[in-house]
Structure 1
Amino acid sequence: MTREPAVRDLTPLFDPASVAIVGASDDPAKYGHAIAVQALRAASRRPLHLVNRRGGTVLGRRAETSLSAIGEPVDLVVVSVPLAGFEEAVDEALACGARAVVAITAGFAELGDAGLARQRAVAARVRAAGALLVGPNCLGIADNTTELHLASDHFTPGGVALLSQSGNLALELQLRLEPHGLGFSRFVSLGNQADVTLVDLVDDCARHEGTRAIAVYAEDFGDGRAFAEAAARAGKPVVLLTAGRGDASARSAKSHTGALTTSADVVVAACRDAGVELTRTPRELASVLAALDSGRRARGRHVAVFTDGGGHGAIAADAVEATGLAVPELSAPLQRELTGALWEQSAVGNPVDLAGMGEQDPMSYARTVQRLLATDEVDAVLVTGYFGGYAASEDGLGGAEGTLGAAERKAAEAIAAAVPESGKPVAVQSMYPASPSCRTLVEAGVPVYEAVEDAARALAALAPATGARELRALPEAAAALGDPDYYPTRRLLEAAGVSFPPAREIRTEAELRDAAREFAGPYVLKALHLLHKSDAGGVALRLADEEALVAAYRAMHERLGAPSYSVEAMADLADGVELIVGVKRDDRFGPVAMVGLGGVLTEALGDVAFALAPVTAERAELLLRSLRSSALLDGVRGRPAVDVAAAAQAVARITAVAAAHPEIAELEVNPLLVTPHGALALDSRAVLG
């Protein structure tokens, strides 16, 4: 469940009735020149006005001295002038009826607080006029479906909408998509997102008929939670490349949760929960887009690796498994069938290796791919190695009809026909990706890669997720937790259904003795108002009786002098597993849940999993099962299995509390003791933002 978006009509940006470029110039060193050159490519599509304060001509066309001098309303205005004249140009655009402004001019929020204040004031005036603002500090926009070319470069038409904070990265992506036959439906340089945001653009591109996939490069998500929600409801593939996922934000953490939750963890969790493909490099971004463009998705995660060389097959199998996919051994009947179709030295277990047969009979490539696509034992096929080499040149082996090259091209045609019929994805890695055989595959929608890791990553993007994706809406804010101390936090969690052992807060030895008579030992004594009680020696366990409790209190109070203490019933740890459950509120993505192996070794072990909070009990159980130590939950070395369902329910309740309290920066239960009979919170803490 996600929030319903506030839909904005971005038609004036992508299909304006008329356009004006303020700052158009004959000087190639100025950005107004580059945009004007591109805009003139479609000068007949809509009225185009060039504005230069000196008048005269620009690029052979008459230039007006101002927007007002045009004498008619202009729908979209590009402002590419020095900072000193920017606000005047925007105000004139609004006065002339502009419904959209693309602000190239820089010098705003990227320079500090003063620039941010100025940027906000301009954006407020634009919104008050009912108009749209892209930027400032952006590089323009383009829409190939409406022949709108208001960026400095030419973008090849295609089905990918690129929303980017980097112009040069857009150029690199275009170069990397070209071998796959892909191009752009739209390009938007995000700039400072003073008005039109990444979320607005994702929503609009999701509705755009000419866009098949949405590619995003973002360093600043703005409202990251809203971005995740927009991506989740897009109904089209969203592929993200981002930077700045380091762990610097954890340095000031005030809990184990804070110390263990990095920016990278948050982004990975948000992308997984929203169904966004997260990539690390422009090459990987292009590889994934090429795979997704085929429209074919795998039903499962089993891959057949097919090659004409043992080395290529072994390396490809490793690359596939490194992505989390499986390369299963084929069944005995299928191996017998393949053996009958190939020659004696061929390997048929998976990887399937022609072992040189391709040189004798290039059609063996096609027959083997067809058979692998036909079996229910695999969900996708990766072809790797020499295929494409026979037709790689116009002479030698790849020469005239009747040679190996011609036969290989026929094999490529047969593979190209078989893939759509099967509905299964195929990715090809070739030493010769530009060969005629490989071009035949690309033209049929079968992606071909130069690097095997790219082909493996492509298939991973087409495989079903390992766990159910879930992105829940944030609940309405509850009454604020005014006091984040131990007992107010504990009472808040107890009210939500989280179980704790019997306990009482005490301040004197007399109160301590009264508490010892309220419930039976053994006891736990905790010094309160300390951040990490165990590290400070503020926790005493297994105190057998009242006298042991009193002795521990006297020693602890003499060392620490805490203003109060908690006396609690000691839980039976014998058959239990200690977990940590925490929620940290991220500035961009909101509350982020963490579960992991708990207790005093939490940070040392670092066995944790993340999701955007709140999570359901079903989602919580998937997170618990994803831990490296999850085998402990099912019992090892004679220990009984613990009540995972109870643990998952506790996780769901803790994350719901944190999500409903925006004033809580960090909320943590550590440990959450899970036994065969249920789950019990043994300690909790909250940190207010």
Structure 2
Amino acid sequence: MGRDLTALFDPVSVAVVGASDDPAKYGHTIAAQALRADGGRRPVHLVNRRGGTVLGRTAAPSLSALGEPVGLAVLSVPVAGFEETVDEALRCGARAIVAITAGFAETGEAGRARQLAVTERVRAAGAVMVGPNCLGIADNTTGLHLASDTFASGRVALLSQSGNLALELQLRFEPHCLGFSRFVSLGNQADITLVDLLADCARHDGTEAIAVYAEDFGDGRAFAEAAADAGKPVVLLSAGRGAASARSAQSHTGALTTSADVVAAACRDAGVELVATPRELTVALAALKGGRRAGGRRVAVLTDGGGHGVIAADVAEAAGLTVPELREPAQRMLRDVLWEQSAVVNPVDLAGMGEQDPGSYAATVATLLAAEEVDAVLLTGYFGGYAAAEGGLGGGGSALAAGEQEAARLIAARRTDSAKPLVVQSMYPGSPSCRTLEAAGIPVFDATEDAARALAVTVPRPRRVGVTPLPRPAPPLPGTGYLDTRRALEAAGLPFPAAREIHNETQLLAATEEFTGPYVLKALHLLHKSDAGGVALGLAGPGELLAAFRDMHARLGAPSYSVEEMADLSDGVELIVGVNRDPRFGPVAMVGLGGVLAEALHDVAFTLAPAPADRALHLLRGLRTASLLDGVRGRPPVDVAAAAHAVETITAFAAAHPEIAELEVNPLLVTPRGVLALDSRAVPA
């Protein structure tokens, strides 16, 4: 069910502590916004330690002096008096606190300790707190305005670690008829977290979509789980997704896994739309408004000018869409409504007819939306220009403008007859015709790439897999050396070739009597054995094995070695399977093309671990080199199902052992007969 945040978003009363007449102080801004919304729904009190008047209202010198309980207290006070003010607010019955004051966990360990102590007192009192170090909240559905600005009303909840970003989004949303149901500045998330807010917005009737800007997810895995369960679109603008996390990695898996990979994997698993800029976030929300989804990736491009059509087709394909040739029934219907020189194959080009009859746009859109081979329509180019100013193109003036506006009304009306998405790119996105389309829920953009990106957001995604729960922790391994890890993985069901640990020549020769060659010799206690010259392959018999041992021992002096049966590599594919434990998202699985060139090839895919076999199979099939699994140049197909089950075994094992920071099986040999793990390594946490 999640935490009850009613006291935060719909309090019985509000008190602004630190209210001020000084415009340079944040308490002035918050107080002004709170009073603006004081329409009788709830009392709003101003508190200033000097008393007197603030913004023309009587100000109490303290919360206690109000003489009545407080529902929500906004604290914009110096850090030195913050804790005392929190205690007073709780004594006065506050059920929610919005802590503007900074100077806590963001300043270091001492500040973190003070923040924790305050949080414990808030929770013990049964209250909730946003912040500290936040910029306020707003809820347009309850008339609550406790932030630095007024946010246009709408259906998007914004949960953000940046106040200025909210102001930018306000500007970007307006042309697309988008607005806010709620805004929350996350601050330090000492008590109420991003996950708490996401779950509450998912239950909020006034919210249709949830936008998140996050630099620190806190518990990233819980965020992914909450997003997967939201039942509403979640769009994430994430910062700080660079490669710094790989700098100290000690395995191929760690070196190949960046923060960006982890966030992208979590979003893919949870069904979150991941974007990189405020512009992309706006595009995604405009596309998702109203809940329209395409049935596939097939797009019909409509233009009245060949250049725009060709460019739009290229950009659509670059966005992962297809622009298929229309079938004969659709072409025949288009010929009936267009003139002879119009192109009706796809892209569809009116070829100047729009200048003579703007209504041809509406007729063509209706025909394309009705075509079975079309999943979505992209209208691109000049539409909107005729009504942009009197005396539009061709000298038609008001007649053309009126005709175009009527076409816009017809397009808006006919769109309701189809569930397919329609997106518009116009040279004149602010024209009356385009505003008519926007008001009807048809997104209009000035950039072709934005229109294509918007359509790409609406296409079917791979089945939302959700986040597989972490298994119960298993007893810690006795050690994380090669043989310890190998034995544990074998016990979990992962097959390895026969192997024996040896320390001297006598034990080495004894091993050759247990299984036949060819052999592999590995020097143990080396993390990257191949790079150090600690692996010898294809040793035909005892003589070659003994010679390799003497050479390797002279060079490396390892305390022990492993003699192993050499696998037949002739008809197999080498994969890498690894798990890297991320501090925010927990264990993250990686699968890809393996062997000694794994880092150079970088053909890998990620998911939150553990990865069930069906998810592993999807990842394997999505690799750039997936065709190798099905056999190429006369090689037989390999057992991909066995590989997927091996991925499940490895990732479940790693997820159950929190004492392991990085686990890797490389290579995992997949043949037509099954799988064989040829090497493994573990790095302790």
TM-score, normalised with respect to structure 2:
0.98
Q: Is 2:261 aligned against 1:257?
A: no
SS in 2 for 1:421: coil
Asked if residue 587 in structure 1 is aligned to residue 609 in structure 2, the reply is no
C-alpha contact 1:79 1:105 (8 A) present in aligned 2:
yes
Q: Are positions 1:469 and 2:465 aligned together?
A: yes
**Secondary structure of the residue that 1:456 maps to in structure 2?**
helix
RMSD: 1.4
1:53 aligns with 2:34: no
Q: 1:399 to 1:91 in 2, by over 3 A?
A: farther
Taking the aligned partners of 1:396 and 1:669, their CA distance within structure 2 comes to 67
Amino acid paired to 1:564: S
Residue number in structure 2 paired with 1:419: 415
Contact 2:154–2:180 (CA under 8 A) maintained in structure 1: yes
1:33 matched to 2:15: no
Can you list the C-alpha shifts for 1:613-649, whole angstroms capped at 9, x where unaligned?
Answer: 1111111111011111111111111111111111111
Tell me the alpha carbon deviations over residues 541-577 of structure 1, each in whole angstroms, 9 at most, x when there is no partner: 0011111111111111111011111111100000111
Q: Distance in 2 between matches of 1:402 and 1:97?
A: 64
Letter in 2 for 1:74: V
- Structure 1 range deviating more: 477-486 or 196-205: 477-486
Residues 397 and 405 in structure 1, CA contact (< 8 A), matched pair in contact too: no
Q: In the alignment, does 2:597 pair up with 1:601?
A: yes
**Structure 2 counterparts to residues 475-624 of structure 1, below 5 A:** 475-624=471-620
Over 3 Å counting, the alpha-carbon distance change for 1:468 and 1:522 in structure 2 is farther
- The alignment partner of 2:568 has SS state of coil
Structure 1 pair 398–243 and aligned structure 2 pair: CA distance change class (3 A): farther
1:626 lines up with 2:622 in the alignment: yes
- Confirm whether residue 169 of structure 1 aligns to residue 165 of structure 2: yes
What is the distance in 2 between the residues matched to 1:612 and 1:112? 31
Displacement after TM superposition at 1:335 (Å): 2.9
Tell me which amino acid in the other structure corresponds to 1:318.
D
2-structure distance, mates of 1:396, 1:679: 69
1:19 is matched with which residue?
14
107, 112, 116: which is aligned to 1:111? 107
Task: Choose which of 125, 128, 133 in structure 1 pairs with 2:129.
Answer: 133
SS of corresponding position for 1:107? coil
TM-fit CA distance, 1:671:
0.2
Matches within 5 A, 1:632-671: 632-671=628-667
Q: Does structure 2 conserve the Cα–Cα contact (< 8 Å) formed by 1:390 and 1:398?
A: no
For 2:672, the equivalent position in structure 1 comes to 676
Note if 1:381 corresponds to 2:377: yes
Deviation at 1:349, TM superposition (A): 2.3
CA distance in 1, matches of 2:464, 2:117: 43
1:147-181 deviations in whole A, cap 9, x for unaligned? 01111110111100000000010010011111111
Q: Deviations over 1:568-595 (max 9, x none)?
A: 1100000111000001011111111101
User: 2:203, 2:313 → 1: CA distance?
Assistant: 39
Hey, what does 1:342 align to over in structure 2?
338
Distance 1:518 1:276 in 2: 53
Q: CA deviation at 1:229?
A: 0.5
Which position in structure 2 is the counterpart of 1:403?
399
| Alignment-mate amino acid for residue 346 of structure 1 | S
Pairs within 5 Å for 1:281-430: 281-396=277-392, 403-430=399-426
Of 86, 94, 97, the match for 2:93: 97
Cα distance in 1 between the residues matched to 2:107 and 2:382: 53
Say whether 1:81 aligns with 2:77. yes
Offset of 1:118 from its aligned partner?
1.2
Whether the aligned pair in 2 keeps the contact of 1:273 and 1:471 (CA below 8 Å) is yes
The question of whether the paired residues in 2 share the 8 Å contact of 1:594 and 1:609 is answered with: yes
State TM-score, norm by structure 1: 0.98
Return the alpha-carbon distance in structure 1 between the equivalents of residues 313 and 523 of structure 2. 55
CA distance in 2, matches of 1:313, 1:157: 36
**Ranges in structure 1 where 5+ consecutive residues have no aligned partner:** none
Q: Percent identity?
A: 75
Is the contact made by 1:470 and 1:619 (CA closer than 8 Å) also made in structure 2?
no
Matched-pair contact (CA < 8 Å) for 2:49–2:62: yes
For residues 175-214 of structure 1, what are the structure 2 equivalents within 5 Å?
A: 175-214=171-210
Q: Which amino acid aligns with 1:321?
A: E
Contact 1:180 1:447 in 2 (8 A): yes
Q: 2:67 aligns with which of 67, 71, 84?
A: 71
CA–CA distance in 2 between the matches of 1:338 and 1:593?
50
Tell me, in whole angstroms, the C-alpha distance in 2 between the residues paired with 1:293 and 1:302: 20
Contact 1:143/1:185 (CA < 8 Å) preserved in 2? Answer: yes
1:336 CA displacement: 3.8
Distance of 1:352 and 1:170 partners within structure 2: 39
Deviation at 1:468, TM superposition (A): 4.9
* Residues 402 and 391 of structure 1, relative CA distance in 2, 3 Å threshold: closer
- Pick which of 88-97 and 254-263 moved more: 88-97
Q: Deviations over 1:315-334 (max 9, x none)?
A: 21222122222222222443
Farther-moved stretch of structure 1 (381-390 vs 467-476): 467-476
Offset at 1:344? 2.8
Return the offset for 1:342: 2.1
C-alpha displacement of 1:387: 0.7
333-342 or 522-531, larger mean C-alpha shift: 333-342
